[in-house]
Chain A
Amino acid sequence: MADPALPGAATLIRVVAGSTFREAVRSRTFLGLLIIFAVCVGLSRIVGWVSSTDGNIVTTDLVMSLQAIIGVLVAVATGTALVQSEITNKTLYTVISRPIARWQFVVGKYLGLAAGLALGQAAMLAIGLAYLAATGAEVHRWLLLAGLLTLVEVLVMAAVSLCWTALSSPLLAAVLGLATWFCGHAVTSLPELIHHLKGWQLVVAAGLASLVPNLGQFAYRNQAVYQLPLGWADLAQRLGYGALWIALLVTLTVVVFRRKHL
């Protein structure tokens, strides 16, 4: 047979992403977590009833937080399994032996997972907002913006988990992924914690903080519940910040994966 015309990088990445997306959204975990989210959203009304403050505000806050928590858990679980399970199950043998570069495989896998996570987040947001509307809570555009920023947080966490799994075992990667999530939110309060530091202590503290993504950038949900506005420039800056972290983490994963023995 003559040399076939090889598909370009964009085609290969799209093909891998498409297959990963199909595989992800058909998994039972995906459907199961949507059901768990729907059940939790239903139960959130009870908290609203027993709350001393405005029940609708509490329910809205809970629905938006649930979307973030379940989204992050799914991102950590699937991000850690994304490439590592392919190595363990040897499913990548028939893929990597084809004319595809390893970086194209990793990027395609991440984009496919990102698409699956985006669909999941959209479904959760739709369920949550439909429930809020049905129960008389106010549904406004700030909630949609909060949902969008939560999606970025989830995508950053998927990239964090993917990167950790390239450097360690899946279990350790999941633990480190969740630890990164806690640190990423703690970094938001760092200026208040380190304002008394000076000199090298301040440099070290700031340096360490820069090693984890500041996930507080994406936690707009609490403000959104009270309809506190978010400017376009601010939104663009947060989206850009998330995209930069994703690019950095996926690049790190590629560097490690290129050298990995399969």
Chain B
Amino acid sequence: MDAVITFQGVSFTYRGNWLQRISALKRVDLDVPAGSAFGFLGANGAGKSTSIKLLTGLLHGHCGRVALFGSELAGSDADRRLRARLGYLPEHPFFYDNLRVDEYLAYLARLSGLSAGGITAACERVYQLLDLGDLRRRMLRSFSKGMRQRFGLAQAIIHQPDLLVLDEPFSGLDPLWRARFREVMALERGRGATLFFSSHILSDVEDLCDRYAVIDHGSVLEQGRIADLLGQAPMILTGSGPAPAGAADAGGGEWRLPFPEGEREARLAALPPGARILRLERQKVALEDWFVARIRATHGAGVKLGDMSHG
């Protein structure tokens, strides 16, 4: 698959006070394949937003190579054609207070290159997707946080971009709207768009994404497939009767024993007489738990799900 987003050895430094320099990104390498849903994970200040701002043209002056759709962003007018294929929802989006929903959407759609006829159809589409039809004549100053987020997603997808960059898209949404956002994102992906988003709600990343990267203190710690990551979770043998050495009490007369790939025969042989095997299954580990453990082991050798102590 071709990469839609490529970072090669990208470093970026902010100017602090006087001669102070703040290094926000340190030789970041990242590849986001076309058609994927890519979760960009990191704690506050890890470098997620800086990376996104480099992609969207809000920051420039980086070292290394940032490419969109295979073409390097050069900070020139040539980037416009690449940015026309991108939809962006910023974190905590703010909008002009004194414009109506329909005016604002038409304004941004026009900037993205839609014709007058195309704008009407595009607006109707996002009104339906995000239930904004009844609000189209409302000024944005009267919107709640959740409504602003809905409008934010609407403006990001109005021109049906090939790449959707979403910074904390679920922020401020109630459970119903989180579910709707997931549906809309699935629809966008079904249309062929690539999703690239950062989120603190890792269960959403787990549900939506097939690939991930973890960034911490400006460096990408690791990246890969979510399925591979979750597939690293250890197998657990659950049984009843006499418990073998190393087993944990699971309640109700049951015990649980880690069952690693290379030690299966030895573990089976060590089962005491009368022990009864009930089931063998992969341990359920939430991405969130893994993420916390991964960040805590900052810059250490990668933490595998099998290394995690909880069951």
Q: Do A and B come from one complex?
A: yes
Residue of A nearest to B69 (CB): A3
Residue of B nearest to A27 (CB): B98
- Say how far A4's CB is from chain B's closest CB, in angstroms: 4
Residues of A within 8 A of B240 (CB): none
- Say how far B107's CB is from chain A's closest CB, in angstroms: 5
- Say how far B142's CB is from chain A's closest CB, in angstroms: 13
A97 sits at the interface (CB 8 A): yes
Given the interface pairs A3-B84, A19-B107, A22-B99, the reply to whether A97 lies near B56 with Cβ below 8 Å is yes
Given the interface pairs A3-B81, A22-B98, A93-B56, the reply to whether A99 lies near B112 with Cβ below 8 Å is yes
> Is B77 a contact of A94 with CB atoms below 8 Å?
no
> Is A4 a contact of B93 with CB atoms below 8 Å?
no
> Is A91 a contact of B53 with CB atoms below 8 Å?
no
Q: Which of B37-45, B158-166, B214-222, B282-290 contacts A (4 or more CB under 8 A)?
A: B158-166
Q: Which of A5-13, A33-41, A61-69, A167-175 contacts B (4 or more CB under 8 A)?
A: A5-13
B155 sits at the interface (CB 8 A): yes
Complex-state Cα separation, A224 to B80, whole angstroms: 49
Residues of B within 8 A of A90 (CB): 90, 92-94
Complex-state Cα separation, A4 to B110, whole angstroms: 11
Complex-state Cα separation, A101 to B84, whole angstroms: 12
Complex-state Cα separation, A26 to B103, whole angstroms: 13
Complex-state Cα separation, A94 to B59, whole angstroms: 14
Given B59, B77, B98, which contacts A261 in the complex, CB threshold below 8 Å? B59
Complex-state Cα separation, A4 to B95, whole angstroms: 25
Chain A residues bordering chain B, tally (CB within 8 A) = 30
Residue of A nearest to B159 (CB): A4
Residue of B nearest to A92 (CB): B58
B108 sits at the interface (CB 8 A): yes
> Is B107 a contact of A4 with CB atoms below 8 Å?
no
Chain B, range 99-119, C-beta contacts under 8 Å to A: 99, 103-104, 107-108, 110-114
Residue of A nearest to B77 (CB): A101
Complex-state Cα separation, A48 to B161, whole angstroms: 64
Per-residue interface assignment for chain A, residues 26 to 64, with 1 indicating a CB less than 8 Å from any chain B CB and 0 otherwise = 110000000000000000000000000000000000000
Given B60, B92, B96, B160, which contacts A23 in the complex, CB threshold below 8 Å? B96
Interface size class of B (residues with CB under 8 A): 35 or more
The SS class assigned to the A binding surface is loop
- Say how far B306's CB is from chain A's closest CB, in angstroms: 41
Residue of A nearest to B107 (CB): A19
> Is A101 a contact of B107 with CB atoms below 8 Å?
no
Per-residue interface assignment for chain B, residues 171 to 193, with 1 indicating a CB less than 8 Å from any chain A CB and 0 otherwise = 00000000000000000000010
B138 sits at the interface (CB 8 A): no
> Is A22 a contact of B162 with CB atoms below 8 Å?
no
Complex-state Cα separation, A93 to B55, whole angstroms: 12
Complex-state Cα separation, A19 to B111, whole angstroms: 11
- Say how far B121's CB is from chain A's closest CB, in angstroms: 14
Residues of B within 8 A of A95 (CB): 108, 111
- Say how far B205's CB is from chain A's closest CB, in angstroms: 22
Complex-state Cα separation, A189 to B14, whole angstroms: 46
> Is B111 a contact of A23 with CB atoms below 8 Å?
no
- Say how far A123's CB is from chain B's closest CB, in angstroms: 18
> Is A1 a contact of B88 with CB atoms below 8 Å?
no
A193 sits at the interface (CB 8 A): no
> Is B98 a contact of A26 with CB atoms below 8 Å?
yes
Complex-state Cα separation, A187 to B132, whole angstroms: 55
> Is B58 a contact of A96 with CB atoms below 8 Å?
yes
> Is B160 a contact of A6 with CB atoms below 8 Å?
no
Residue of B nearest to A19 (CB): B107
**A residues engaging B (CB < 8 A)?**
1, 3-7, 11-12, 15-16, 18-19, 22-23, 26-27, 89-91, 93-101, 261-262
Name 5 interchain pairs, CB-CB below 8 A, sorted by A.
A6-B81, A15-B111, A96-B56, A97-B57, A262-B53
Given A7-B111, A94-B88, A94-B93: 12 more A-B contacts, CB < 8 Å: A22-B98, A23-B99, A26-B98, A27-B98, A90-B93, A90-B94, A91-B94, A97-B86, A98-B83, A98-B111, A100-B111, A261-B14
Q: Which 9 pairs, one residue from A and one from B, show the smallest C-beta to C-beta distance?
A: A99-B80, A97-B56, A4-B113, A26-B98, A99-B84, A262-B58, A97-B88, A93-B90, A98-B111
